[in-house]
Chain A
């Protein structure tokens, strides 16, 4: 059965039962198919004109010279622009509609930030220029660092980590370095169940044994169990606050005090800092280290999967161990870049060293600073309040439709957690997600956190209007009602996306990770060819 959706449209199935005949091109008006560059072009074309003829090759280079040019296809400029523009139209994006992705925080990306990041004074400077030729860039780092420290109530900040998980690693390395400086070789990091999945991976990567701490029935860290486990072998605890159930860890201060009393340190995963910015400072709750995903709290664009940026704020106990390089403001007002060369002069020999070649994600720093200055302290508090208001609105309006396992635990923070209780036999969270695609929305986070069955974690963010939220809620209610009623057509969703459900099992069983063939030889596999593989 092909149930009409809310708008009354019927899905075109391509099986003769739909409303339109298939086209000869495979395209459907504005829904355009696009070949791979390897199928479009040969190796001889180039879309770049050069000022001059290439000169001779130095005879000394002879034995190293490559025998033929790399077998890479080239396209003219118009073909290139068209190829990528056509591909772009197969993407959902925050510019098109909301990404209600819990724990991923996708908010509006202001274009002023893009303009600022592209100013030649920031975009066209080399990381190894003499420091007095990059004073403005260093001031950006310093100014952003100042805001991050003030907003979190911490003592110092490491700016160089290149993403959230890299920041986690930075924090754990600081803890390790601080303990080793005391001759205290501890082996265990405790990670509550309500923490991000990246946390245990980070602790293990830094050479620690990882032990889980269970959550209470309310979805928060079990303080008693945590206290029982603390001891001289525990280097620290990694907590996500607000946690992945969307709840604030009420006992944060008590947890920090207990961990400190046992000689360990507290790492807070700051991925959800956007929920509390301007409302509470992690430093006041006893946190020793916390990374801040600049794209989440301060709106740097996600770019289809990065780049991220993960500065780590540090307590007074951990700050001396942070990574190189860092900036220091001198008495004359100039900003110095402290690297290996000047380390001794800055009495900072405790640094654990470099985490990456240069100074971190400068292009993200300029964007984040522009965003922070645009909001100011008052606006940032409004950011947290609106994101929490929007999430609680979603929670309350959907409670009658979807089971919300922790709704009784108190208000949620910036994200609302639901589970798959009550769907008809054979229907899952995945069906809801794919059904939502046909409704024109990006699905919420599914099957995370792991603490509830068939999780659906919705984070609206503060840049969604009430009207937009109502539309999302209406669509979600409609899809859930279909799943409760056992509407079989839902198993086939999405129908209207550029692709129907993709076979992820085949992709993993027989990985095809690169195109194999001669560029320029068009070879689009027919459905039957593809089916045979």
Chain B
């Protein structure tokens, strides 16, 4: 057992100190009839490092990795190039294998990173503050809805039509049990973001309006207009950003009137990872700080007057307030926050802007090329790096046939909205700096062939 340092001699000696003959005596409180004596049937014995690595490599090889094919999936998770130094630095044992910084004197590395992270997120979102991260974008979105309920003492949230359907279903799951009332509608295959339909739902009982920016179809909603309407009725505006790279190019939600901004931070530093771990970003106005969920790192001084950092305002948290806690959050995504922060530090504000512009121009090139295909049109009038194609037939079929020809060509709206037949021909396409001109051309010619019914 390569991970277990005790030798049999050690074990005997330690049992002697304890005053017993057998380790089984230490399990005396486990009822005898429930105690397992032999091995559990069906479970294999230990395996060497080489054997485990081979087994896992064999499983990994069954997947099509994004880097091996023309790849255009987005819809809440994005493939960006992550500089090599990011992964190198997060694998330093002092970051990777550290615990939650509850003993701040020997956790200043993690704490300073969190303080820097909070500042980076707040500046990116245009909010006064940000927390030390949550699980992912969808759970952060739900936490924002419950927080808006606490702030406004209202319980009806309006979810914009363009909010990611998985974020909507996460909120719906939780609302069933917390008795919050949600209004949510599926989007139309329409170039406008349906701002007027959203605004029409806001009334004096509305706690918040939740608007994704850019939305699931890649459209860019007029946040300022919705913010004004929400504030008129005493409701908060919650903006949801699933692609933070987009904020290198379009205005920060906080600057447009959003009271709470949440997001998925996976795009910077974290990688696709088949859905997790991801990184929930959460920023808000300063006056709501005590209603904010999640961990917070704050600046202070030590006994010698030196600047230092601690976790703070934890009296909101569940391990202290128990049933009066403001949220169910018990941890953050510390290592993912570190990766995000390092990637952001390498980019800087100007680098992020440049990256966003490169994404944008690649996406425009792809939209132009794909819309030349007969029967295919681009829905969006404006977009950053993601847009929706309207195909002449069910996009689920096209995605399937593209995959057979080793092109991963986007996310079909049929997969995201199985009950909305009107959306079946929609295909959400994300184009980042990782998509080369050759990839775009391969996608276009393969899609053309698929739509013309050519055999693979």
Contacts and interface: CB of A to CB of B under 8 A. Distances in A.
B321 A201 contact: yes
Nearest to A136: B62
B357 A55 contact: yes
B431 interface: no
Contact of A169 (B45, B328, B346): B328
Interface in A363-382: 363-364, 366, 369-370, 373-379, 381-382
Contacts of A304: 95, 98-101, 107, 109-110, 113, 334-335, 338
Interface string B135-169: 11111000000000000000000000000101101
B397 to A, nearest CB: 11
B348 A41 contact: yes
B351 A74 contact: yes
A257 interface: no
A306 B139 CA distance: 15
Contacts of A74: 345-351
Nearest to B9: A466
Interface string B276-310: 11100000000001000001111111111111111
Contact of A303 (B95, B123, B408): B95
A527 B42 CA distance: 63
A72 B120 contact: yes
Contact of A354 (B105, B170, B331): B170
A339 B169 CA distance: 11
B182 interface: no
A173 interface: yes
B95 to A, nearest CB: 5
Interface string B307-330: 111101101001111111101111
A355 B170 contact: yes
B129 A362 contact: no
Contacts of A340: 169, 418-419
A497 B106 contact: yes
Given A48-B355, A304-B107, A357-B136, A366 B56 contact: yes
Interface in A347-401: 352-364, 366, 369-370, 373-379, 381-383, 385-386, 388-390, 392-393, 396-397
Interface in B331-362: 331-336, 338, 342, 344-355, 357-358, 360-361
Given A304-B98, A388-B27, A531-B305, A91 B106 contact: yes
Interface stretch (A103-111, A223-231, A312-320): A103-111
Interface stretch (B30-38, B200-208, B229-237, B446-454): B30-38
Given A122-B273, A123-B273, A357-B170, A464 B59 contact: no
A95 B47 contact: no
Given A46-B350, A135-B63, A357 B299 contact: no
A357 B73 CA distance: 15
Nearest to A34: B112
A524 interface: yes
B68 to A, nearest CB: 8
A162 to B, nearest CB: 4
A202 B328 contact: yes
B28 A64 contact: no
A38 B87 CA distance: 22
B350 A43 contact: yes
Contacts of A176: 177
A506 B300 contact: yes
A60 B411 CA distance: 24
B373 interface: no
Contact of B318 (A127, A197, A364): A197
A255 to B, nearest CB: 12
B153 to A, nearest CB: 17
Contacts of A331: none
Contacts of A58: 360, 364, 382-383
Contacts of B277: 162, 306-307, 309, 361-364
Interface in A54-84: 54-58, 60-61, 64-67, 69-75, 77, 80-81, 83-84
Given A124-B66, A369-B56, A48 B73 contact: no
A459 B62 CA distance: 40
A212 B242 CA distance: 40
B39 A378 contact: yes
A70 B276 contact: no
B347 A150 contact: no
Contacts of A363: 273-274, 276-277
Interface size class of A (residues with CB under 8 A): 35 or more
A247 interface: yes
Nearest to A524: B307
Contact of A65 (B77, B98, B137, B249): B249
A250 B179 CA distance: 37
Contacts of A482: none
A433 interface: yes
A158 B18 CA distance: 39
Contacts of B100: 104, 302, 304-306
A521 interface: no
Contact of A502 (B27, B301, B331): B301
A33 B235 CA distance: 45
B455 interface: no
A87 B105 contact: no
A149 to B, nearest CB: 10
B263 interface: no
B189 interface: no
B442 interface: no
A133 interface: yes
B381 A114 contact: no
Contacts of A392: 14, 18, 26
Given A77-B83, A201-B323, A514-B122, A498 B106 contact: yes
Interface in A249-303: 250, 252-253, 276, 278-281, 284-285, 299, 301-303
A503 B302 contact: yes
Given A48-B351, A123-B271, A163 B89 contact: no
A38 B169 CA distance: 39
Interface stretch (A1-9, A203-211, A420-428): A203-211
A328 to B, nearest CB: 17
A82 to B, nearest CB: 10
B456 interface: no
B203 to A, nearest CB: 24
| Residue among A90, A361, A513 with most chain B CB within 10 A | A513
Contacts of B110: 91, 304-305
A165 B327 CA distance: 10
A163 B135 contact: yes
Would you list the 6 A-B pairs with minimal beta carbon distance, nearest first?
A74-B348, A121-B60, A358-B275, A303-B335, A55-B361, A95-B93
Given A110-B3, A507-B299, 15 more contacts: A80-B346, A84-B95, A87-B112, A89-B109, A90-B106, A91-B106, A106-B99, A121-B57, A126-B73, A132-B403, A248-B29, A250-B31, A280-B34, A385-B23, A519-B349
